[in-house]
Amino acid sequence: MNMIELTGITKRFGDHEVLKQVDLTVKKGEVVVILGPSGSGKSTLLRCATFLEEPDAGTVRIGEHEIPAGGSQTREKTAKIRALRQNTGFVFQLFNLFPHKTALQNVMEGPVVVKKMPEAQAKSLALKLLAKVGLADKADAYPSRLSGGQQQRVAIARALAMEPLVMFYDEPTSALDPELVREVLHVMKDLASEGMTMVVVTHEMEFAREVANRVIFMDGGVIVEEGTAEEVFGNPKEDRTRRFLYHVQK
């Protein structure tokens, strides 16, 4: 069963076409890593799939939530987008934790406000998730007191608190000091092994090799090549892929 189906996703910023009719399907429990040079459209693809950017054309389906692009922003469409987002965990490059709330409150916020979960129940869920990402002892810390790696792990816990069907990661380790990257990737690996459906935009080749079921290489707003990590890294068919890999692996 396909958990995610993106069909014909097109996005323009002014005259520049960032995504050109991109199709992508992800099966339940599959981990897909998207690679590509900056400006290739990989982050925009995740943002279009969650309507943080409205696609100019195409259809997004996540689970049973299917939304075609375009049309007017009716109340009905806004509600559908909200339902789709509730089922999609999104991890941002710059964490975007809420600075006026503690780690615990950050994780509780979604269940309490959106799902109207009772405080006590949300608190025990949040504590469980903070323990899962190895931060049980930081529950009462404000984000400004946490390292980048810790902040990103709280952000992952915050996304998981909504019990999403899929997790999107938009360059989750790009803003981290090298020594902090591993702790975040470790949490992501654990999630993958538990069967979470994940789409990860990253430059971490090691992670792609170890965890990804499928690697996608994007350039110029299209998917240039896809396959297993072995296929794409070991024997790239396309010239553009080869050039990119040559530069990042150097």
Partner 1 sequence: MLLTHLPFLLEATLVTVGLAVASMLIGLVIGVFTALARISKNKLLYRISSTYVSVIRGTPALVQIYIVYYGLPQIGIELDPITSGIVALSINAGAYLSESFRAAIQSVDKGQLEAAYMLGMTYGQAMRRIIIPQSIRTAIPPIGNTYIGLLKETSLVSVITVTELLQMTSLLIAKTFEPLTYYLIAALIYWALSSGFSYLQSRLEIRVTRHVRQ
**Measuring CA to CA, how many Å separate 203 from each of 200, 232, 237?**
10, 14, 20
Residue 92 lies near partner 1 (rule: CB under 8 A) = yes
Distance CA 119, CA 111 (A): 9
Q: Is 110 in the site for partner 1 (CB under 8 A)?
A: yes
Q: How far is C-alpha 207 from the geometric centre of its chain's CA atoms?
A: 14
| Distance of closest approach, residue 2 Cβ to partner 1, in angstroms | 22
* Of the candidates 249, 241, 245, the residue with the CA atom closest to the CA atom of residue 219: 241
Q: Do the Cβ atoms of 56 and 69 come closer than 8 Å? A: yes
Contact pick of 94, 140, 210, 248 for partner 1 (by CB under 8 A): 94
Does residue 90 interact with partner 1 by CB under 8 A? yes
Among the residue ranges 35-43, 93-101, 219-227, 242-250, the one whose residues contact partner 1 (CB under 8 A): 93-101
| Cβ nearer to partner 1, comparing 125 with 155 | 155
* Smallest separation (angstroms) from partner 1 to the CB of 153: 15
Q: How far is the CB of 200 from partner 1 (least distance, A)?
A: 16
The span from the CA of 137 to the CA of 130, in Å, is 8
What count of other Cβ atoms lies within 10 Å of the Cβ of residue 162? 19
Site string for partner 1, 26-55 (x = CB under 8 A): ------------------------x-x---
How far apart are the C-alpha atoms of 204 and 192, rounded to whole Å?
Answer: 15
> In this chain, which of 39, 71, 99, 234 binds partner 1, going by CB under 8 A?
99
**CB neighbours of residue 23 within 10 Å:** 12
- Of residues 21, 59, 86, 147, which one binds partner 1 by CB under 8 A? 86
β partners of residue 67 = 60
Spatial CA neighbour of 55 closest among 24, 21, 16, 9: 9
CA torsion sign for 39, 41, 46, 48 is positive
For residues 133 to 172, the per-residue mask of contacts with partner 1, x marking binding by CB under 8 A and - elsewhere, is ---------xxx----------x--xx--x----------
Residue 234 Cβ vs partner 1, minimum distance, rounded to whole Å:
35
The verdict on 13 binding partner 1 (CB under 8 A) reads no
Q: Site residues (CB under 8 A) for partner 1? A: 50, 52, 82-83, 85-86, 88-90, 92, 94, 96-100, 109-110, 113-114, 142-144, 155, 158-159, 162
